[in-house]
Amino acid sequence: MTPSQVALVQASFAKVAPIADAAASLFYGRLFEIAPDVRPMFKSDISEQGRKLMATLAVVVNGLAKPESILPAAQALARRHTAYGVTADHYAPVGAALIWTLEEGLGPDFTPDVKAAWVAAYTLLSGVMIDAAAEAPASA
């Protein structure tokens, strides 16, 4: 990611943070719409899961300028997710739901450059996570 893309992701996320609960609700609604097979993976309160999602996104977004500071945590998260049945195929609908949510939440502020920056961020992060999950032991 370029420094400009990092700045775009961080600035746009700052606009989403005040509506974090609504954004999380939009995200999970969209995810379950486009990938209904993932719904059974979420056993706990979806509101609590949404808060965890937004907190994780905040950490990732704030660490994008120094990806080496966030990638080990992302790798560990991916390894834990394998225990819930998450596979590499699940990352595409998650990314699609994230981009859709940002577009809905940011409205006209979701410019083509902002979208490209988020796609770059998600591509980087999901690639690292998919690789880490593939390396996880089967009993993870």
Once rounded to an integer, what is the mean pLDDT over residues 114-136? Answer: 93
Mean confidence (pLDDT) of the chain = 92
Mean pLDDT for 121-130 is 94
Q: What are the structural domains of the chain?
A: 3-135 (1.10.490.10)
Task: Say whether pLDDT at 111 is over 90.
Answer: yes
Q: Give the model's pLDDT for residue 127.
A: 94
Listed residue (90, 22, 79, 73) closest to 51, CA to CA: 22
Q: At residue 57, what is the residue type?
A: L
The band of 107, judged by pLDDT with boundaries at 50, 70 and 90, is very high
Query: Confidence band (pLDDT; 50, 70, 90) for 137?
Result: low
43 neighbors 91 (Cβ within 8 angstroms):
no
Mean pLDDT lowest for which of 40-49, 71-80, 102-111, 125-134? 40-49
Concatenating the DSSP letter of every residue in 63-130 gives HTTSGGGTHHHHHHHHHHHHTTT--GGGHHHHHHHHHHHHHHHHGGG--HHHHHHHHHHHHHHHHHHH
At 45 the pLDDT is 84
Closest C-alpha among 17, 3, 28 to residue 98: 28
